[in-house]
Amino acid sequence: MRKTALLLLLGAVLLTACNPGVDTAFIPPSNLVAVSAALSPQDTLLAVYLYRGQPLGKVLPEEQTVERNATVELSDGTRTVRLTYQPARLRYERPAAALPILAGNAYFLTVKTADGIALKSQCRVPPAVTDLRIAGTQQPNDFEFEITWTAPPDQPFAWVRGRTASASTTGPNFSGNVRFDGTGGPDFVRAWLTDQQRGGRNTLTGRVLDAARRKPLLLNIEVLNLEPALHRFLVDTRDLNNFNANTDGFIPTFREPRPVASNVEGGVGIFAAYNRSETVLMIP
């Protein structure tokens, strides 16, 4: 989530320019800190990214915007652990064994920068989906598949991702050749982000492009059950990425600027949780 923290800073700057009635408009860009962190029971490492905003019109390389001397702590309400800045990865880290991330539990983030800026946020880990399965058939060129899984009640937010790899130990990976039919129509997308996951059994279809030529393959499918705040953040960053890709700086835009979703008090950013389930199918 490192790149998306920079989008948060951009969103906050756009907000200050267009909507002075919002609280973050009173934070000068140079005092604006962006947080990017997501927790999961499957993680082996706790990681938090911090970035410092810059004056309007000033552009710096990403590594020069990293906030390096902050105090970053995570807590489950009983135990508190401090994360250490790792310069090689430009983030704060701690092994997950120091603070196990468990479904249903709430977690709290506190940040204090060297110049006294304080930020805080909290999240709650959703349950995982269960009984995740893949079935499919080889067509002349593509491999068509169907995914099914069971979701807990009242958990409508999910993100389905897919990738393939050669079943040969020396073969390449093909991360971009999986498409999902997320709309029920002919347009296939690489990942399926939804707020319509039903409690109980869910189904999604898709295909592996050009599978016949690349076999044998391993198809890896992940279903991430998302906290609502994380879903909002992913939708906003997806829309911003799509908008930037479609305009590419050449087409004038009159779209009203708006910030990327944030749940961080005292700054901007995302601190949220998800729970990942995955399965693998061999395409012989």
Instruction: Give residue-wise pLDDT tens across range 84-125.
Output: 999 999 999 999 999 999 999 999 999 999 999 999 999 999
How does residue 62 score in pLDDT terms, banded at 50, 70 and 90? confident
Q: What is the mean pLDDT of residues 211-233?
A: 93
Residue 232 identity (one-letter amino acid): R
Whole-number Å distance between alpha carbons of 136 and 147: 9
Q: Using CA atoms, how far apart are residues 50 and 90, in angstroms rounded to an integer? A: 9
The answer to whether the beta carbons of residues 27 and 263 sit under 8 Å apart is no
Residues 37, 49 contacting (CB under 8 angstroms): yes
Instruction: Give Cα separations from 188 to 136, 198, 240, 243 (angstroms).
Output: 16, 21, 19, 18
Residue 209 — φ and ψ, nearest 5°? -70, 135
DSSP 16: H
Calculate ∠ Cα 39-114-273, nearest 5°.
Answer: 10
Q: Which carries the bigger pLDDT value, residue 51 or residue 21?
A: 51
The residues facing 108 across adjacent strands are 75, 122
Has residue 58 got a pLDDT over 80? no
pTM of the model: 0.84
Tokens, residue 219: 């198809």
CB neighbour list of residue 260: distance below 8 Å, 6 or more residues apart: 4, 7, 8, 10, 11, 233, 236, 237, 240, 268
Assess whether pLDDT exceeds 50 at residue 279: yes
Which of 35-49, 141-155, 243-257 is predicted least confidently? Answer: 243-257
The residues facing 162 across adjacent strands are 221
- Are the CB atoms for 7 and 260 separated by under 8 Å? yes
Q: Mind listing the pLDDT tens digit for each residue in 173-219?
A: 666 689 998 654 445 577 889 999 999 999 999 999 999 988 899 99
